[in-house]
Amino acid sequence: MQFGLFYEWPNPDLRNWKTLYGEGVEEIQYSEEMGFDYCLIAEHHFSNYGNSPAPLLQALHIGQQTNRLKIATGILVLPIWQPLRLAEEVAVLDNLIDGRFICGVGRGYQPHEFGWFGVTVPESRQRFSESLEVMIKAWTQDESFTYDGEYIKIPNEVTVWPKPQQKPHPPLWLAGTSVDSMQLAAKWDMMPLTTGLLGGDGMRAHLASLIHARMDLGKSIHGIDLGMQAITHVAETDEQAREQIEYARWQNRAGRALGRLAVTNGRVDVTPYEGEPDDDRFMERLYFGSPETVIEKFRRAAELGVTHVSCWSMFGGIDHEKIMRSIRLMGEQVIPDLKDVHPPAGLADELAKTPRVTTEELQAARSGPAPSDVPP
């Protein structure tokens, strides 16, 4: 398994942003020292849920402060970008940080953010597909090209320079929860990014959908990577880790608030909501605990096909010192135990035989068991 840190810089109390960013960079630098493989930078706008409106600037800065770590976006919200400009910026970034960039992309899901950029949620799917196609053309074609999409129009021939250092382009990761997204991931050989909050059934369904899409294209279904975002906190004991649950609740409630446009003066509404799980049920979706507990949870995630774990360690205003402790315990005990852990050899063939699912069924799988519920 590979491990990274996921960042969107939430700011519940509107702390000084320079301090907030500085702490995050210090944590990422320490993670490189402790054996992590990458970091993942989100894109969010206009609320204290996440203060990462310029992920490529942050990626450049982090790349300049590290030596080995891969720097990924998690994710660039393509429907709100001009794709030619974005392709240029990614290419420059990849050259400046010596080919260490991973381009994570997605359609986005928050109407609160879309509206201010003049984009609607219904049109975002087509905008995403067209933008991705234009970006790949920009990175891989030396000849001039035009493009005539429903939303993206390039009527005059254009050639895009520079090209990325990595060939044919930086690795592509995709966040998405639909069958269409898995088909795009199969078409462009992108690694899907799922979340531990989906539970075991949800992650298996995502991987199965990707496998079916690759089969339809005549592509290999073996050696497939699957990324998982996991709200993670490692402490000396399970009890000490559990004490941080309210920080995770803030983050979960804040995300739901964006979906229902419950934002006032940039502050998300984090009041409890109807149907909110109790602490025991919520903990099943979190990767909290002692090193031994977290190792076992990640092992069970690997049984579901997970190869890359993005540890969401800065959440809900949790203290910097606690994050640094969690990174240290991850590096000293968790990562060394899991570096050589891989999904079961026969998992892809097993999932290839499962019935195909619809987007509705794929998203409904969110209610399935968490990795901690899945028998070893």
User: What domains can you pick out in the chain, each with its CATH number?
Assistant: 2-373 (3.20.20.30)
Segment 210-267, tens digit of pLDDT = 999 999 999 999 999 999 999 999 999 999 999 999 999 999 999 999 888 999 999 9
Comparing C-alpha atoms, which of 8, 5, 4, 12 is closest to residue 318? 12
Cβ neighbours, 10 Å, residue 188: 14
Segment 291-328, tens digit of pLDDT = 999 999 999 999 999 999 999 999 999 999 999 999 99
pTM of the complete model? 0.94
Say how far apart CA 217 and CA 224 lie, in whole Å: 15
Helix 55-65 × helix 17-33 angle, to 10°: 50
CA geometry: angle 321, 324, 330, nearest 5 deg: 145
Structure tokens at 227: 């990324």
Comparing C-alpha atoms, which of 3, 55, 1, 9 is closest to residue 316? 9
Helix, strand and coil content of the chain, in percent to the nearest 5, comes to: 45, 15, 35
CA geometry: angle 261, 175, 316, nearest 5 deg: 50
Say how far apart CA 334 and CA 332 lie, in whole Å: 6
- DSSP, collapsed to helix, strand or coil, labels residue 100 as coil
